[in-house]
C-alpha cells in the first residue's frame, strides 16, 4: 500500500473531549454489579447488630436454617478462626490491634456490624430468614462520643485497655520555642462533624467458586482490586492466582467504595462453602450504616505570628473519632491532618498531634480530601481571626505567608512514627490566589461584607489549599494490537466514575501518535488484565497510569519498528512510524493489523507525590430569621499541572465543590447516647440536589507542570472539596460580623447558624 504523505497532528491531551463512557451510561447499557446474574445463583442477606456495644451470649440460627429456600446461615462459629481485615495504609503496630473482624466474634461494637449471613434462593427469602435468627446480646454501656472514649471509663477492647489506638505526630522546626517568644498568639477550638461519601450506587458483590480449578471469582470490586485479591487469598488460604477480581461499572466511589469490607470475605466464603454463585446487594440503610463514615474530628489549634502577620508557628492537638475499628485506611485522615495542616503556607515551626479515638460508631475511612477538608476548615478560620486581631487584611495575611515559587520543592512536616516525608513539587501559589480574586470580583464584593440587604446579611470568604496526589509506588499497563489494527489498553487503575476510559485513551493516542478511534478499548481494574496493579485512590490515576502509558507506548513503538524491519528486510533505524503505519526504505509501508498480537507492558514508579494547589472564594447571604445561608456565588481556581481533559476536569471540580457544600451545610451522621444512628435514611441524612448550589465557577490552570512525571500532570480529583468548609465559614463570619459570630463547628445548618446569632448581642448599625 502507499503510505500517507502527511501525518495528522495528535493533540488529544489538553482537548475537551466528551467522555466516551457516557454513551454507554446514557443509553442504559452500563453494567453494574446488580445487573449481573449467574446460573444457580443464590442470594445473601446480612443480619447486623442493632446494639452498639455488647457481648454476644448466643446466636441461635436453627429456625432460620429451617426456613424454605434457605441454604446456609453463617456466623463466627461456622467460620471458626475469624480473620480480621488488615490495614492498607499507615499500619503502625499500635493501630493494628484495633482491626475489624469480618464478622462479630464474641462482641458487637457498632450498630450495623455483621452478626450472621443468610444464603437463600431469593433476596426476599434471605431477608425474611434474618427475622428468625435469635441473637442474645448482653448490652454494655455505649461509648458514643470522644470525651467519654478518652476517659477510658468504658473500653471497647478490654484486652487492650484503652480507646486511644495511637497518636500521629508531625514536626517541623521547634514550635514550642517559637510560641514562647512570639509577639502574638491565639488558640481556638474547632469541630468538623461526621459525614461520608454516600455514592449513588450501593455496594454489591457476586462471588463464584469453581471447584475444579479451586478458583474464586469476585465481581463488583473497584478501587484497589489487586490489593483486595491478595487479602482475600490470604484469608481463604488460596494462592493469589486462584482469586479473580472483576470490575464493572461503578456508580461513584469518592474514597469509600472498593476498600476491603467484611462482606468482601463473607460473600466469597459463602460461595465456596455452598459451591454455588452468591450475590449480595446492600440497601440504602445498610449503605449508610456499614460503608465507611468520614471526617469527625475536633482540635485545639494555635497560631503564633509577628505583628506584621508573618506566621511563626502552628501547634495543634486533634482527636479523630474513627468508630469501632480501624479499617483499611481508617488512620489516613488523621495522618493527613498531621501533615497538611499548614497547607500552602510558609510556616517554619509546626507540631501537630492527632490522636485516634475508638467509639461505638461505624468505622471511618477516606472520603474525597480526607483530613485535608478538616484541616482547611480549622486553619482558614483561624487565619481570618488572626488577621482581624492584627489589623491586617485577610487576603494580604494569606498572600504574605504563601509558599513562594523560589521555595520549591517545599517540604511538609515529617510524620514521625511512620517516617513519612514529602514536599511540594512545583507551583506559584500567588497566581491562583490572584486569579481567584479577579474572577470573583473580590474588591467590590468585599465591600458588602456585614451589610444588611433585603433582609439578609451578605459576606465573602477566601481560602487557599494544597491537594496531594500521585501516590505510588507504581502502576502498570499493557498495550495489545488487535486483528483489525486497533489498540487495546489494559490498566491497573480502576474506574470509580472519574472518566478513565476517556482520559487514558487521550494519553494513549498521543503517545502512540494515533487517532483516538484506534484506541479500541480501555480495560481497567480487573486482575485478569495485567499481572499486578495498584488501583485508583489519592488522585493518582493520571500521574501513575498516565505515565505508565507513555512508557508502554515507547516500548510498543520500538517493537513495531523491529517487527517492520524484519518484514521489510531493513535496519530498525530505517523504519519510521506515521499515523499507525510503519514506513521503510522506498516508502514501503506495513499497517498495524499486520502486527496483531504484539504486546508491550509499561510501568511508572515514583515515591514522590504531586501537589496541586489553589484558592476558593464564596459569596453568601444569611437570613437572620431562619439561619439559612444562600450561596450566591462560588469560585474555585486550581493549578493542576498539565491538563489532560479540561471538560472532565471541570466536572470533577464542580462536583467536588457541590460535595463540599453538602458536607458544610446538609450532611450529618448523628448518634444518640446509646450509639444508635439517628440519620440512617435520606429522610434525615440530607444530600445536595441540583437546585441547591447553582452558582459554581471553576477555573483550571496549568502554569506549573510537575517535574516528577513525563506528562507533567498532578492529581486533581479532590481539590474542589478541600477548601469549601473553611471558605464558606469565613464568608458566614464576614456576613455576621456585626453580631460577632465566629463559626467554630460544622455543619452550618440553619438551626446552628440561627443559634449562633441568638447567642450574640444585637448587631450594631451597618
Neighbours of 214 (CB within 10 A): 11
Q: What pLDDT score was predicted for residue 579? A: 86
Query: Does 692 lie in the same domain as 753?
Result: yes
**Interatomic CA distance for residues 163 and 224, integer angstroms:** 29
Name the average pLDDT for the chain: 96
Over residues 116-124, the mean pLDDT reads: 98
Q: What pLDDT score was predicted for residue 201? A: 96
pLDDT in tens, 624-666: 999 999 999 999 999 999 999 999 999 999 999 999 999 999 9
Query: Does 481 lie in the same domain as 452?
Result: no
Q: What pLDDT score was predicted for residue 8? A: 44
Does a structural domain hold residue 61?
no
C-alpha gyration radius of the chain: 27
**Interatomic CA distance for residues 646 and 629, integer angstroms:** 31
What total of structural domains would you count in the chain?
A: 2
Does a structural domain hold residue 56?
no
Does a structural domain hold residue 369?
no
Highest mean pLDDT among 6-15, 82-91, 291-300: 291-300
Query: Does 687 lie in the same domain as 546?
Result: no
Q: Residue 765: pLDDT above 60? A: no
Q: What is the DSSP letter of 61?
A: -
Query: Does 529 lie in the same domain as 499?
Result: yes
> Does the reported pTM lie above 0.85?
yes
Q: What pLDDT score was predicted for residue 766? A: 45
Q: What pLDDT score was predicted for residue 562? A: 97
Query: Does 632 lie in the same domain as 572?
Result: no
Q: Residue 730: pLDDT above 90? A: yes
Does a structural domain hold residue 558?
yes
Q: Which of 605, 635, 653 is the last residue of a domain?
A: 605
60 - beta bridge partners? 134
Which residues, other chains included, contact 141 with Cβ-Cβ below 8 Å and sequence gap of 6+? Answer: 53, 154
Query: Does 591 lie in the same domain as 498?
Result: yes
Q: What pLDDT score was predicted for residue 223? A: 97
Query: Does 740 lie in the same domain as 697?
Result: yes
Over residues 518-539, the mean pLDDT reads: 95
Does a structural domain hold residue 197?
no
Q: What pLDDT score was predicted for residue 4? A: 32
Over residues 92-120, the mean pLDDT reads: 97
pLDDT in tens, 319-353: 999 999 999 999 999 999 999 999 999 999 999 99
Q: Residue 684: pLDDT above 60? A: yes
Which residues, other chains included, contact 491 with Cβ-Cβ below 8 Å and sequence gap of 6+? Answer: 475, 476, 477, 478, 500, 504, 522, 523, 524, 525, 529, 530, 533, 545, 548, 549
**Interatomic CA distance for residues 4 and 144, integer angstroms:** 71
Q: Residue 7: pLDDT above 60? A: no
Beta-strand pair 243-247/278-281? unpaired
Q: What pLDDT score was predicted for residue 13? A: 97
Over residues 409-433, the mean pLDDT reads: 95
Give the CATH number, domain containing residue 692: 3.30.365.10
Percent of the chain topping pLDDT 90: 96
Query: Does 493 lie in the same domain as 442?
Result: no
Query: Does 704 lie in the same domain as 649?
Result: yes
Q: What pLDDT score was predicted for residue 320? A: 98
Cell 460544622 belongs to which residue?
Answer: 746
Q: Residue 6: pLDDT above 60? A: no
Backbone angles phi, psi at 172, to 5 degrees: -150, 130
Over residues 260-285, the mean pLDDT reads: 98
Does a structural domain hold residue 74?
no
Q: Residue 175: pLDDT above 80? A: yes
Q: Which of 571, 605, 639 is the last residue of a domain?
A: 605
Over residues 357-385, the mean pLDDT reads: 98
Query: Does 490 lie in the same domain as 554?
Result: yes
Instruction: Identify the helix (H) or strand (E) that includes residue 172.
Output: strand 167-172
Q: What pLDDT score was predicted for residue 419? A: 86
Query: Does 635 lie in the same domain as 565?
Result: no
Instruction: Identify the helix (H) or strand (E) that includes residue 73.
Output: strand 70-74
Cell 486482575 belongs to which residue?
Answer: 527
Percent of the chain topping pLDDT 70: 98
* Residue 491 vs residue 7, higher pLDDT: 491
Does a structural domain hold residue 676?
yes
Q: Which of 587, 605, 623 is the last residue of a domain?
A: 605
Which residues, other chains included, contact 118 with Cβ-Cβ below 8 Å and sequence gap of 6+? Answer: 44, 45, 46, 47, 64, 70, 72, 73, 126, 127, 129, 130, 133
Over residues 533-559, the mean pLDDT reads: 97
Q: Residue 92: pLDDT above 90? A: no
Q: Domain range holding 561?
A: 22-30+472-605
Q: What pLDDT score was predicted for residue 191? A: 98
- Residues across the chain: 766
Q: Residue 423: pLDDT above 50? A: yes
Over residues 604-618, the mean pLDDT reads: 97
**Interatomic CA distance for residues 104 and 95, integer angstroms:** 19
Q: Are 164 and 322 in contact (CB under 8 A)?
A: no
pLDDT in tens, 469-489: 999 999 999 999 999 999 999
Does a structural domain hold residue 729?
yes
Query: Does 755 lie in the same domain as 625?
Result: yes
Cell 504574605 belongs to which residue?
Answer: 400
Amino acid at each position: 500500500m502507499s503510505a500517507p504523505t502527511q501525518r495528522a497532528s495528535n493533540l488529544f491531551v489538553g482537548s475537551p473531549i466528551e467522555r466516551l463512557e457516557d454513551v454507554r451510561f446514557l443509553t442504559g447499557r452500563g453494567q453494574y454489579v446488580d445487573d449481573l446474574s449467574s446460573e444457580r445463583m443464590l442470594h445473601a442477606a446480612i443480619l447486623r447488630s442493632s446494639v452498639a456495644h455488647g457481648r454476644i451470649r448466643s446466636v441461635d440460627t436453627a429456625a432460620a436454617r429451617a426456613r424454605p429456600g434457605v441454604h446456609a446461615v453463617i456466623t463466627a462459629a461456622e467460620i471458626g478462626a475469624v480473620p480480621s481485615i488488615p490495614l492498607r495504609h499507615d499500619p503502625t503496630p499500635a493501630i493494628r490491634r484495633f482491626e475489624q473482624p469480618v464478622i462479630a466474634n464474641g462482641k458487637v461494637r457498632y450498630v450495623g456490624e455483621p452478626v450472621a449471613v443468610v444464603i437463600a434462593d431469593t433476596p426476599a427469602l434471605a431477608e425474611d430468614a434474618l427475622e428468625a435468627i435469635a441473637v442474645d446480646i448482653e448490652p454494655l454501656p455505649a461509648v458514643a462520643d470522644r470525651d467519654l472514649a478518652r476517659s477510658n471509663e468504658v473500653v471497647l477492647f478490654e484486652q487492650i485497655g484503652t480507646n486511644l489506638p495511637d497518636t500521629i505526630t508531625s514536626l517541623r522546626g521547634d514550635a514550642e520555642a517559637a510560641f514562647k517568644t512570639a509577639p502574638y498568639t491565639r488558640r481556638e477550638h474547632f469541630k468538623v462533624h461526621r459525614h461520608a461519601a454516600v455514592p449513588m450506587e450501593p455496594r454489591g458483590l457476586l462471588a463464584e467458586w469453581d471447584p475444579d480449578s479451586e478458583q474464586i471469582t469476585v465481581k463488583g470490586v473497584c478501587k484497589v482490586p489487586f490489593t483486595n485479591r491478595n487479602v482475600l487469598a490470604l484469608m481463604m488460604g488460596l494462592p493469589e492466582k486462584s482469586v479473580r477480581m472483576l470490575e464493572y461499572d461503578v456508580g461513584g466511589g469518592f474514597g469509600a467504595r472498593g476498600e476491603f469490607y467484611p462482606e468482601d470475605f463473607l460473600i466469597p466464603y459463602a460461595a465456596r462453602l455452598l459451591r454455588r454463585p452468591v450475590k449480595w446487594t446492600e440497601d440504602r440503610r445498610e449503605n449508610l450504616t456499614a460503608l465507611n463514615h468520614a471526617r469527625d474530628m475536633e482540635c485545639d489549634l494555635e497560631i503564633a505570628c509577628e505583628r506584621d502577620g508573618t506566621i511563626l508557628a502552628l501547634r495543634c492537638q486533634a482527636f479523630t473519632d474513627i468508630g469501632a475499628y480501624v479499617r483499611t485506611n481508617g488512620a489516613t485522615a488523621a495522618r493527613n491532618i498531621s501533615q497538611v495542616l499548614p497547607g500552602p503556607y510558609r510556616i517554619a515551626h509546626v507540631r501537630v498531634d492527632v490522636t485516634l479515638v475508638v467509639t461505638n460508631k461505624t468505622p471511618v475511612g477516606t472520603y474525597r480530601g480526607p483530613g485535608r477538608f478538616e484541616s482547611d476548615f480549622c486553619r482558614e478560620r483561624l487565619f481570618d481571626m488572626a488577621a482581624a486581631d492584627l489589623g491586617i487584611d485577610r487576603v494580604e495575611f494569606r498572600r504574605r505567608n504563601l509558599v513562594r515559587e523560589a521555595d520549591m520543592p517545599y517540604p511538609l512536616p515529617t510524620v514521625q512514627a511512620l517516617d513519612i516525608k514529602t514536599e511540594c513539587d512545583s507551583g506559584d501559589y500567588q497566581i491562583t490566589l490572584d486569579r481567584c480574586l479577579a474572577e470573583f470580583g473580590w474588591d467590590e464584593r468585599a465591600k458588602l461584607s456585614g451589610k444588611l440587604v433585603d433582609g439578609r446579611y451578605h459576606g465573602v470568604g477566601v481560602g487557599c489549599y494544597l491537594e496531594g496526589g500521585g501516590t505510588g509506588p507504581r502502576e502498570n499497563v499493557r498495550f495489545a494490537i488487535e486483528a483489525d489494527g486497533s489498540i487495546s489498553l489494559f490498566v491497573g487503575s480502576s474506574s470509580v466514575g472519574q472518566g478513565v476510559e476517556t482520559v487514558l485513551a487521550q494519553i494513549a493516542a498521543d503517545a502512540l501518535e494515533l487517532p483516538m478511534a484506534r484506541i479500541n478499548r480501555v480495560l481497567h481494574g480487573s486482575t485478569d488484565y495485567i499481572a499486578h496493579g495498584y488501583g485508583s485512590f489519592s488522585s493518582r490515576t493520571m500521574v501513575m497510569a498516565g505515565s505508565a502509558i507513555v512508557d508502554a507506548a515507547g516500548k510498543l513503538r520500538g517493537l513495531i519498528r523491529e517487527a517492520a524491519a524484519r518484514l521489510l528486510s531493513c535496519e530498525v533505524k530505517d523504519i519510521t512510524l506515521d499515523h499507525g503505519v510503519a514506513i521503510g526504505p522506498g516508502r514501503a509501508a506495513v499497517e498495524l493489523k499486520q502486527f496483531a498480537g504484539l504486546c508491550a507492558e509499561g510501568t511508572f514508579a515514583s515515591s514522590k507525590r504531586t501537589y496541586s494547589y489553589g484558592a476558593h472564594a464564596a459569596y453568601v447571604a444569611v437570613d437572620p430569621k431562619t439561619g439559612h445561608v444562600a450561596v450566591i456565588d462560588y469560585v474555585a481556581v486550581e493549578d493542576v499541572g498539565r491538563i489532560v481533559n479540561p471538560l472532565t476536569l471541570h466536572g470533577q471540580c464542580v462536583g467536588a465543590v457541590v460535595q463540599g457544600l453538602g458536607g458544610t451545610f446538609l450532611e450529618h451522621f448523628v448518634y444518640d447516647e446509646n450509639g444508635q444512628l439517628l440519620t440512617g435514611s435520606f429522610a434525615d441524612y440530607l444530600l445536595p440536589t441540583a437546585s441547591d448550589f447553582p452558582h459554581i465557577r471553576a477555573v483550571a490552570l496549568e502554569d506549573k507542570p510537575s517535574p516528577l512525571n513525563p506528562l507533567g500532570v498532578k492529581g486533581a480529583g479532590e481539590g474542589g472539596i478541600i477548601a469549601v468548609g473553611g471558605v464558606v465559614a469565613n464568608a458566614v463570619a464576614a456576613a455576621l460580623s456585626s453580631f460577632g459570630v465566629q463559626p467554630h463547628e460544622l455543619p452550618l445548618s440553619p438551626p446552628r447558624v440561627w443559634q449562633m446569632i441568638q447567642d450574640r448581642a444585637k448587631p450594631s448599625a451597618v
